[in-house]
Structure 1
Amino acid sequence: MGVESVPDRQKLARTYGAGEIVDFTSEDVVERVLDLTRGEGVDTAIEALGANATFQTAVKITKPGGTVSNIGYFGEGEFVRIPRVEWGVGMADKTIATGLCPGGRLRMERLLRVLEAQLVDPSHMTTHEFRFDDMERAFEVSDKKLDNVVKVMITF
């Protein structure tokens, strides 16, 4: 299951195995996910945006004993808020795991194991390619989500 509003990204989510797509611009994500899971919630919710609202949604849709896997970068604000009731007032055994940058060697070893095992083909996510000399433009396109970007590749 994926949460996305952009058609190209919805298609990409389906490519990677999402059977259902919830469009947050036209429906309530929490309501729809709980409906799709018969009120149980999901085993794992991945928060990749780094926004407080999506983090709270991830906590709300994760069932007791589940995991909120946070890979988003929370670069603004002083706090990230956890919705108390949906968190089970701290007693629902919901794990919040982070892993944006676990360290150079460790991160690369994890990524290489995934690639070596051919568990994921990352080429589907690469929508833009830039030369090293155009790195500033690549960061701008990625940061501002220009031209339907998903991921950029920088070649040397």
Structure 2
Amino acid sequence: MKALCWHGTNDIRCDTVDDPTIEDARDVIIKVTSCAICGSDLHLMDGLMPTMKSGDVLGHEFMGEVVEVGSPDHKLKIGDRIVVPFNINCGECRMCKMGLYSVCQRSNRNGEMAVKQFGYPTAGLFGYSHLTGGYWGGQAEYVRVPMADVAPMVVPEGMTDDDVLFLTDIFPTGYQGAEQCEIKGGETVAVWGAGPVGYFAIQSAKILGAERIIAIETVPERIALARKAGATHIIDFKTEDVFERIKEITHGEGADAVIDAVGMEADAAHGQGGIISAIKEKVVPLQREYVLASAIRAVRPGGVVSVPGVYGGPVAVDMGSIVQKGLTMRSGQTHVKRYLEPLTKLIQEGKVDMTSLVSHKSTDLREGPDLYKAFKEKTDGCTKVVFNLA
């Protein structure tokens, strides 16, 4: 089969690889009908995540049709169209029973590597390094889905791939990022990054009742998307002082909550903070901290810092500000399964825009390497890439 594979930093290729096979009674094999390139995939492309191996199949935003099941009495049946969350869940461990699906204790077959890195195992993820299980991803013609009786959702009748594809990751991730802000109605929420996750975080904050939503961005296409999603104010971080503008917009009070929807792919923005961050990158192998530092500074005392943006290693955090301002910080990979049903209902009710984000579509994985490059470099107005394979 064809698949998009990682071969090193900035080296993504469309390879011919072996078709997946059933390995366990709980497995299913799906024929991928749609998949997408995620901003988190760029972390892999840039070499920012450890334990990648040449030839690893990429992709964690995918869905498709079940073509083989591991057991005759499997919960899923041949012909079912399913959405596959990016994290794999056993459904049996304490974390899964608590609804903390992203930290499932049994699905990461390389859990001992996560223990060395983080102290405890984390969930297995599709297409996202051997630290998270080394499972092949979904930017491919076929995928083996382990523990498929737990996390995947059968697509409701009448819903298209375009309606539900982003339930695999970025819509639940943006929603969880907004939900973590403890929005009760009338708040000011500032969102760093109006890429795919930021786009859904803005829509989600609006749905949850935020009164003012400030998007911090500089790419024109993403600024337009932020406005369409419901941002009431835009700050261009390359031409404006983000902290001073947020104080101005909030009449000196600061944002009630802030969302770092960028993570370790942050650009070193103009200004002293960006310069310091860029210097640190050269001297110490830390991940890019500028957005997180900027968000912590801009939130009001007693506010919430929500971090759906991905970090994979050490980051210098201003604990002085967190302690002295009495901040609450909330983060984590997304507990996708928790959100599938309620977010599907929002889509069915027409409360969420699922299509405007997509700028580039393809039916051919061989175009993948060029589309990865366009998405990374934000050229040709590229805001999101989707492959419709069937």
Asked if these proteins are the same fold (TM beyond 0.5), I'd say: yes
* TM-score between the two structures when normalised by the length of structure 2: 0.35
Choose from 335, 350, 354 the match for 1:102: 335
The higher radius of gyration belongs to 2
* TM-score between the two structures when normalised by the length of structure 1: 0.80
Residue equivalent to 1:53? 290
Change over 3 Å in CA distance of 1:49–1:117 after alignment to 2: same
3-state SS in 1 of match to 2:297: helix
- Give 2:242's aligned amino acid: V
Conserved in 1, the CA contact under 8 Å of 2:255 and 2:299? yes
Change over 3 Å in CA distance of 1:63–1:143 after alignment to 2: same
Q: Distance in 2 between matches of 1:150 and 1:82?
A: 29
Quote the offset at 1:32 in angstroms. 1.0
User: What is the RMSD computed on CA atoms of the aligned residues?
Assistant: 2.4
Residue equivalent to 2:382? 149
Residue equivalent to 2:314? 79
Q: Distance in 2 between matches of 1:141 and 1:25?
A: 21
Which stretch shifts more, 61-70 or 13-22? 61-70
3-state SS in 1 of match to 2:231: coil
- Give 1:59's aligned amino acid: I
3-state SS in 2 of match to 1:153: strand
Choose from 292, 299, 304 the match for 1:67: 304
Change over 3 Å in CA distance of 1:139–1:22 after alignment to 2: same
Conserved in 1, the CA contact under 8 Å of 2:361 and 2:387? yes
Structure 2's unaligned 5+ residue stretches are 1-213, 267-288
- Give 1:152's aligned amino acid: V
Q: Distance in 2 between matches of 1:53 and 1:118?
A: 36
More helix by share: 1
Number of residue pairs aligned between Structure 1 and Structure 2: 151
3-state SS in 2 of match to 1:96: strand
Matches within 5 A, 1:1-150: 1-50=214-263, 51=266, 52-75=289-312, 78-89=313-324, 92=326, 94-103=327-336, 105-106=337-338, 108-109=340-341, 111-133=343-365, 134-150=367-383
Conserved in 2, the CA contact under 8 Å of 1:48 and 1:71? yes
